[in-house]
Amino acid sequence: MAYLFACELPDHLWYHIENDVWVQPVAPGLLRLGMTDPAQTRAGKILHFSTRPWKTVKAGKTIATIESGKWLGPVLAPMPGQVVEENQVVRRKPDRINRDPYGDGWLVLFETDVTPDAWAPFGVLTGKEAWSAYRAKLERERTTCVRCQEPREGGPTTDEAVWGSD
């Protein structure tokens, strides 16, 4: 796992840095896609997620829409393909994206004919090349990641967490 400015970037994933999307091969031609930690940080608490399964798109076109308290915008396809499934957990609980962007907070399953050896021309990178590009982007944007946390049972109230208790 790489950490850049408190942002997590798991080693096993591929990244489209400009679109803030991660890519995980699931089977030949089938990918799991999600928002990166920097993307969920910039968006703030995510309130709504929508997509259209079986929608075929070109690289750079909308595969989903995210709405937060401070942002409404598209999630863009890292390469041409088709959304074949949406994450039902995220559909019911969109803030899962904030809490676990690389686990339960994935967005869609995506079918593509583009093989991993041809991803670089689409801007999809992995390893040190991805981390180097993300470092430059995060420095340019002055982004430091934060995550929404699950409420702890018996934990402090919001007031106690912010102001402390006497």
Domain boundaries, the chain: 18-120
pTM over the 0.75 mark: yes
Instruction: Give per-residue pLDDT as tens, 57-77.
Output: 999 999 999 999 888 999 999
Helical (H) or strand (E) element with 16? strand 14-16
pLDDT at residue 100 tops 80: yes
| Average pLDDT along the chain | 85
Average pLDDT estimate for 24-40: 94
pLDDT of residue 158: 33
Q: What is the DSSP string of 66-96?
A: EEESS-EEEEEPSSSEEEEEE-HHHHH-TTH
Tens-digit pLDDT profile for residues 106-146: 999 999 999 999 999 999 998 788 888 888 887 887 877 77
Q: Which fold has domain 18-120?
A: OB fold (Dihydrolipoamide Acetyltransferase, E2P) (2.40.50)
Burial status of residue 79 (CB atoms within 10 A of its CB: 0-12, 13-18, 19 or more): buried
DSSP for 38-58, written as a single string: HHHHHH-SEEEEEE-TT-EE-
